[in-house]
Amino acid sequence: MLLARLAVATSWQGKGLGSGLLKEAMFNGCHECRLSIGDFSHSASHPVAPTLELERTKPVATAAAIRVRTKKLLVRRLVPQSAKHLRSAFQIGFLLLNIWIAFDFYRFVRQFEVPGSIYSVSRPPGVEGWLPIAGLMNLKAFLLTGEFPVIHPATMFLLSAFLLMSLLLRKAFCSWLCPIGTLSEWLWKAGRNIFRRNWAIHRWVDIPLRGLKYILLALFAYVVITMPLVAIRAFLDSPYGVIADVKMLNFFRGMGVTAAVIVGVLMIASVFVQNFWCRYLCPYGALMGLASLLSPLRIRREPEVCIDCAKCAKACPSQLPVDRLITIRSIECLGCMECVNVCPAEGALDMKLFKRRRVEPWQMAAGVAAVFCGLVGYAQITDHWESPITNAVYERLIPNAHQLDHPR
């Protein structure tokens, strides 16, 4: 239609009429132009030129309509982000530390289980990091009394370090240190390499499933909050509480079929769905997420320099729509900086302190190390890191650990 009218307009250029019409038609693009030719008067004295009527109508919404999208100029980052390599180094280092602690603790327990052994291996206090409930109990007792715990004090300092880390640096514990989070991440990355993709659970199922970890956290928190201080101390001082770490070890050493199947299902699910355990079931991660809501750090996108490539959203392990938000306030943000790592545009996406100051990956890594080493170092210097339990107590309790039931 438009081409036909332009042809008519061109044919009248010789009479000085089509030029203006042609320009007007080209200027309006997809607008419809109508040309009306008036009657000619054959009077020699008063020749009448053709009359032109140019009528502008609304754009026609057809499938052939051309949509023009402005392409933004890409200004590449001068210094590539190094968060990926720094975070991997922290993950591997902390995982190896936990493997060493587990091996050392196993040797410690075995020397009391084998008659005639020489007690040459001391108990590694770091194993108490795997006793989060005891950590919550000790933290509550400390807040109420101001007294440092005697039994399992390391678990309170480790829990406090991870909470402080979340308050300052988002869920940095989950994405930079947690060994379970590291293994979960390796599993879904292996699944992506094998199947060329990961699967996302439908939104209407995903949202209720994400609520499960908060329900589990609420149950544990309810038990600890409603537990009197006298009951907390009685539990921790009981034979069961003293060797709670040994009971945990025995659970994994003597894992039944049901527990093994559950662990296997969780591992298989983590291959197909990113961070399945962390996203849906981990109450520890839920606690870190709640603390991270108060963090001054946020991932922030600048729309003026963003080129809308959506690489950030594809890289986000929490499946957040980073490319459509200005500031990431979600409780699910891990602070892993994977989105920042893949962003090609300078200044388009960064971790920001109070929405202004850019936080570099090395600063994030330094913050994680400072908080962890600071609180652990303080506990060791002030002699509040190790439980003062003698080998004689362990010699009496560990061989009979399977007979000790949870206090009522």
Q: What tens digit of pLDDT does each residue of 64-91 get?
A: 333 344 556 666 766 656 778 899 999 9
Which residues lie below 8 Å from residue 334, measured CB to CB, with a gap of 6+?
170, 171, 172, 174, 175, 317, 318
Q: Which amino acid, 219?
A: L
Sheet architecture: strand order including 297-301: 327-328, 297-301, 349-353, 357-359
Look at residues 375, 371, 378 and name the one whose alpha carbon lies nearest to residue 166. Answer: 371
Q: Per the structure block, which two tokens stand in for 128?
A: 């108490």
Domain ranges of the chain: 1-68, 83-96+125-403
Q: Which residue has the tokens 């893949």?
A: 342
pLDDT of residue 70: 54
Q: Can you give the pLDDT at residue 85?
A: 87
Burial of 106 (0-12, 13-18, 19+ CB in 10 A): middle
pLDDT of residue 80: 58
Instruction: Give the residues of the chain that fall short of pLDDT 70.
Output: 1-75, 77-81, 408
Helix (H, G, I), strand (E, B) or coil at 163: helix
What is the rounded CA–CA span in Å between residue 99 and residue 96? 5
| Among candidate residues 164, 166, 170, the one with its CA nearest the CA of residue 327 | 170
Contact 126, 154 (CB under 8 A): yes
